[in-house]
Amino acid sequence: MNIANTTALTDSNLHTAPSSAGCDAYGKTLLGEIGPLQARLIANAAELDAAQRLRFRVFGEEMGASFSQGSAATDRDEDRFDAVCDHLIVLDTTLPGDAPDQIVGTYRLLRDEVATRTGGFYSAGEFEIGTLVARHEEKKFLELGRSCVMSAYRSKRTIELLWQGIWAYCLRHDIDVMTGCASFPGATAQSHALALSFLYHHARAEGQWAIEAASSDSVSMDMMPVEAVDMKAALAATPPLIKGYLRLGAKFAGTAVIDRAFRTTDVMVILPVSTISERYVRYYGADAGRFAPGDKTSS
């Protein structure tokens, strides 16, 4: 999550609802529902504000990220991409207040057609995503980012509902490839040598899916010989989000990028929809029907 790269792009006047020219027109249509938890896209500026404040708490207060002066002054994690992205949210409808008070999780979604019109992908600050997209110009790409969940809601149900929403969104927009940066905590890549080496040797994107780092602050993930990598221990040392991508069938760039402002070691995820494990397609439903709420809309 490259806060350092986006700081220069941040404008203190960017606190607006997403542009209708770039964003989906879901309104308050639910994408998924599990008990009192609901998933949908944000519908107004107040919900975007709440999602940005949740990101600020998780990334800043929990993870120690450094923010731009504008973000720090408003307690919001905010950059220029927010205005052109769709924002998936999970709400707990049992919490008091209106929808902005009920947001417990969020994911930011940026389609390639929108990125082309609005200045590119967020991840271009760290990886050569433009080259990868150009190599597959017939495919539709979706960048995933800014994933965070309130600490009390980091459970299987919340994560499942976020993925339900992403899957439904992919089907709606005929997405072929999901990409995005995912992070290991800390800006010292060597402390994650085992897990990074595992990704390099066993889940590296190669051939037409290979992607290079764009940042000079990068490091090869080939830190340990393949025979020295204990796969069980490596998986145990891998953050849950990255482990989740692995289970889906994702591949990763062979180089990691150090984000010093965010104090993370970032890896690039490449997940062609056609390669998603059949087990998960069956679980969520080929039509994203497992947790679908039918024709209901949120209040």
pLDDT at 17 over 60: no
Closest CA relative to residue 184, chosen from 156, 152, 223, 155: 223
DSSP state, residue 56: I
* β-pairing verdict for 86-92 and 103-111: antiparallel
pLDDT at 19 over 80: no
Band of pLDDT at residue 14, cut at 50, 70 and 90: very low
Least confident range from 206-210, 269-273, 289-293: namely 289-293
Which pLDDT value is given to residue 194?
A: 99
Would the pTM count as exceeding 0.85?
A: yes
Which pLDDT value is given to residue 13?
A: 35
Which pLDDT value is given to residue 6?
A: 30
What average pLDDT does this structure show over 46-64?
A: 89
Mind listing the pLDDT tens digit for each residue in 75-103?
Answer: 888 889 999 999 999 999 999 999 999 99
CA distances from 152 to 58, 66, 92 (A): 12, 23, 11
Task: Please state, in angstroms and rounded to a whole number, the distance separating the CA atoms of residues 263 and 240.
Answer: 18
Q: Percent of the chain at pLDDT above 70?
A: 86
* β-pairing verdict for 141-149 and 177-185: parallel
What residues does 106 pair with on adjacent strands?
89, 148
Which pLDDT value is given to residue 31?
A: 94
The domain 3-284 having CATH identifier 3.40.630.30: the answer here is: yes
CA distances from 290 to 88, 168, 189, 213, 286 (A): 18, 10, 38, 37, 9
Terminal-to-terminal C-alpha distance of the chain: 33
Least confident range from 2-11, 47-56, 198-207, 212-221: namely 2-11
Task: Please state, in angstroms and rounded to a whole number, the distance separating the CA atoms of residues 188 and 186.
Answer: 6
pLDDT at 231 over 90: yes
Closest CA relative to residue 291, chosen from 283, 299, 88: 283
pLDDT at 38 over 70: yes
> What Rg value do the Cα atoms of the chain yield, rounded?
18
pLDDT at 134 over 60: yes
Band of pLDDT at residue 63, cut at 50, 70 and 90: confident
Task: Please state, in angstroms and rounded to a whole number, the distance separating the CA atoms of residues 248 and 272.
Answer: 10
Task: Please state, in angstroms and rounded to a whole number, the distance separating the CA atoms of residues 109 and 157.
Answer: 20
Residues counted in the chain: 299
What average pLDDT does this structure show over 199-215?
A: 97
Query: To which H or E segment does residue 243 belong?
Result: helix 240-248
> What average pLDDT does the chain have?
88
Which pLDDT value is given to residue 10?
A: 30
CA distances from 167 to 98, 172, 254 (A): 26, 9, 26
Closest CA relative to residue 222, chosen from 240, 199, 247, 246: 199
pLDDT at 1 over 80: no
Task: Please state, in angstroms and rounded to a whole number, the distance separating the CA atoms of residues 202 and 84.
Answer: 35
Which pLDDT value is given to residue 3?
A: 31
| Per-domain residue ranges of the chain | 3-284
pLDDT at 253 over 50: yes
Task: Please state, in angstroms and rounded to a whole number, the distance separating the CA atoms of residues 184 and 78.
Answer: 21
What average pLDDT does this structure show over 249-254?
A: 98
